[in-house]
Amino acid sequence: MTGRPRAVLWDLDGTIADSKDFHWRAWRETMAAAGAPITYERFLHSFGQRNDAILGAWLPGAPPETVTRLGDEKEAAFRRLAAEGPLHPLPGAMEWIERLANAGWRQAIASSAPPANVATMARVLDLERWMGALVTADDVHRGKPDPEVFLVAASRLGVPPERCVVVEDAAAGIEAARRGGMQSIGVGGPALRAADLHVTSLVDLAADAFDRLVPD
């Protein structure tokens, strides 16, 4: 690599690995212990929301300390389950991460998840050796579609936004990349078509996909 530095900013959950089943099992366990069992359909309806919003809908009128306690218990259960595994990377994810590292791209995780969750997943998936930064919910004040998480990640890598490619599985993340002045790759269904490049799986990316978005 001879030009200015370039970076790839990875969303984690749903992009590098799919941990939805671990979140479901953690919520099911936590809410059953609290005497308020939930269905899988109700879980799916809330997936991706903040814990306080989820619990506010499931337990209307619950005291803030109860909401905080149950949210903490759920996240602890998630980390335990993810560590027990098996938590596998999504197809093509690790191959691309290694390929980009070997080509000189700087890389970071830019996730809305709590830092302990990101640390657990990064450890299980052996991501630390490839990433120059792990940016989490505690590092920002505003969530996606605000671009703050990506701008913080780019700053920590020392790469200007216009030299960054965001890889995301959520429309809010694609919008955050746009607002941050970054290129984006959307991985998933039709809701990701607003991305600069859209594929249903990372294995579908052309070998020069990242180079075309941000030339060396």
Q: What is the pLDDT of residues 179-215, one digit of tens each?
A: 999 999 999 999 999 999 999 999 999 999 999 999 9
Burial (CB < 10 A; 0-12, 13-18, 19+), residue 215, is exposed
Task: Give pTM, 2 decimals.
Answer: 0.89
SS3 state at 187:
strand
Quick one: what percent of the chain has pLDDT higher than 70? 99
Q: Considering only 14-18, 46-50, 99-103, 140-144, which range has the smallest mean pLDDT? A: 46-50
- Calpha distance 49→47 (Å, rounded): 6
> How much is the mean pLDDT over the chain?
95
Return residue ranges of the chain for CATH 3.40.50.1000.
7-17+89-213
Q: Is the pLDDT of residue 64 over 60?
A: yes
Q: Is the pLDDT of residue 49 over 50?
A: yes
Residue 104 phi, psi dihedral angles, 5° rounding? 95, 5
Question: 181: closest CA among 157, 213, 133?
Answer: 213
Cα gap 139→124, rounded to integer Å = 22
Across residues 70-95, what is the average pLDDT? 95
Q: CATH 1.10.150 region(s) of the chain?
A: 20-84
pLDDT value at residue 1: 45
CATH 1.20.1280 fits 20-84, yes or no: no
| CATH classification (class only), 7-17+89-213 | alpha beta
Mean pLDDT of 108-136: 95
